[in-house]
Structures are given as C-alpha cells and as structure tokens.
Amino acid sequence: MKVLYILCVIFILGNSEKCESPNGIVCCEGFKKRDQIGDDCIPCEIGFHGANCVVPCYYPSYGKNCQSRCSCVEEFCDYVDGCKDIKDLDTTSFISSTTSSFRKFYEHVMHKQFFLHNI
C-alpha cells in the first residue's frame, strides 16, 4: 500500500501542471483548467500568470510567464507584446502620453529650481 501511495505522490509531483491543495488536486500556478468538464490543466495564455491565469503581467514584465521585460515607459508597455511601436499608437493616445510625460518632467525641473533657489 505504501508503494502505491509513493508512486501516486511521485506522479503528482512529477506532473507540474497539477498540485495538491486542501480541496484536492488543482492546477498549479501558471496553469488553468482547459474547460469546465475535464481536469486537464493548460499553461497560462501569454501575458497572464498566477492561480487560474487571471493576473496580467505587471509592468515592466510581459509575455510568456511574464519573463520578458519592457525597455520603454509603462504607457507604451503591453503586458502581452511588450513595447508598442510608436507607429501602432493612435495620435490621440500618443499626444496624451507625451504631454503627460512632459508635464511631469517640467514639474520636476521647476520644483528642483525652486528648491535650489531657496537654499
């Protein structure tokens, strides 16, 4: 009987898609159920991770298992594909993002000048 139990544990642990939990065998983090009926687990879609694959990648991470890193600012980083090409952005979102970035930069410079002027 112990041999059967050990073989079951080895099988479960060797199959990284499924994990033990208080509720029985479930899909491990990074996997989700294929469908409502079966108990097959499949990897998360690109850009998602966590239990049941419901969490999108956090900036600056993106892609499969959130293992890639964006080298652009957060506004241009897509959690699935990474840095967006500027030609793919619509004009309104580009102007809005650029204006916002410039405003933050301007406020930072003005604050620094005010601080240095009052020393």
Averaged over 94-115, what is the pLDDT?
Answer: 54
- Does the pLDDT at position 106 exceed 60? no
Question: Do residues 30 and 44 lie in contact, with contact meaning Cβ atoms separated by under 8 Å?
Answer: yes
Query: How far apart are the C-alpha atoms of 97 and 58, rounded to whole Å?
Result: 19
Nearest one of 46, 85, 44 to 63, comparing CA atoms? 46
Q: Whats the size of the chain, residue-wise?
A: 119
- Residue range 67-86, pLDDT digits in tens: 999 999 999 999 999 999 86
Burial of 28 (0-12, 13-18, 19+ CB in 10 A): middle
Q: Is the pTM of this model over 0.85?
A: no
